[in-house]
């Protein structure tokens, strides 16, 4: 039985909730979630060559270059998955998560959303490093967003919290593919 393929790119700055949204989409619509996030820690721990390149970028609060991410992701894909990806030429949707800078800065700087208390911070989570990461994201994301806007594929969702954005994302996907469970499950 062939399942529906809905190729979606979910873009957002660090701390915007991309992983949460992707997890919910995958669970609610029985779709596969591919993300570069989990590949970084997995490849840094065993001290692979490509992992070392990624680690150096992360330590300097730089975006990991495309060729490094591609190497990391391709090392995790099976041959069948790689062949399937080769056949995919265009995305069906592009979702951009827009969260206010201050919200992201607080979230990434280790301030607890509920209590407002500081959390344990790593060097990459210091306010100056977070601000630099967010500025770099904005510079890199702008042309990507423009490309998908020009193709009519861009859907932007704004809000202060993932849980407030989720119902709109769920509705968008529900109009494209039949959900397997209700959004109220989250």
Which residue ranges in the chain fall short of pLDDT 50?
1-3, 77, 79, 81-83, 85-86
pLDDT score at 162: 75
Query: Which pLDDT value is given to residue 173?
Result: 94
| pLDDT of res. 120 | 58
- Dihedral class, residue 139 (left if φ above 0, else alpha if ψ from -120 to 50, else beta): alpha
What's the confidence (pLDDT) of residue 158? Answer: 93
Given this model, what pLDDT does residue 122 score?
Answer: 59
Note the pLDDT of residue 52.
82
Domain limits, the chain: 8-34+90-185
Q: What is the pLDDT of residue 109?
A: 67
Ranges of H-type helices in the chain = 18-29, 39-44, 49-59, 66-76, 79-87, 101-108, 127-150, 162-174
Structure-block tokens of residue 49: 């060559």
| CATH topology for the 8-34+90-185 domain | Rossmann fold (3.40.50)
């Amino acid at each position: 039985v062939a399942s529906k393929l809905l190729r979606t790119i979910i873009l957002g700055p660090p701390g915007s909730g991309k992983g949460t949204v992707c997890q919910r989409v995958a669970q609610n619509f029985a779709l596969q979630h591919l993300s570069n996030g989990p590949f970084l820690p997995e490849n840094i721990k065993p001290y692979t060559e490509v992992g070392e390149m990624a680690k150096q970028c992360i330590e300097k609060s730089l975006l990991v270059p495309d060729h490094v991410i591609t190497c990391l992701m391709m090392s995790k894909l099976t041959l069948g998955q790689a062949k399937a990806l080769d056949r995919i030429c265009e995305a069906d949707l592009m979702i951009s998560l827009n969260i206010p800078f201050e919200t992201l800065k607080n979230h990434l700087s280790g301030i607890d959303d509920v209590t407002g208390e500081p959390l344990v911070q790593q060097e990459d989570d210091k306010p100056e490093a977070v601000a630099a990461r967010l500025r770099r994201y904005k510079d890199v994301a702008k042309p990507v967003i423009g490309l998908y806007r020009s193709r009519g594929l861009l859907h932007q969702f704004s809000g202060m919290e993932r849980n407030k954005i989720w119902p709109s994302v769920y509705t968008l996907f529900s109009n494209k593919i039949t959900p397997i469970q209700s959004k109220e499950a989250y």
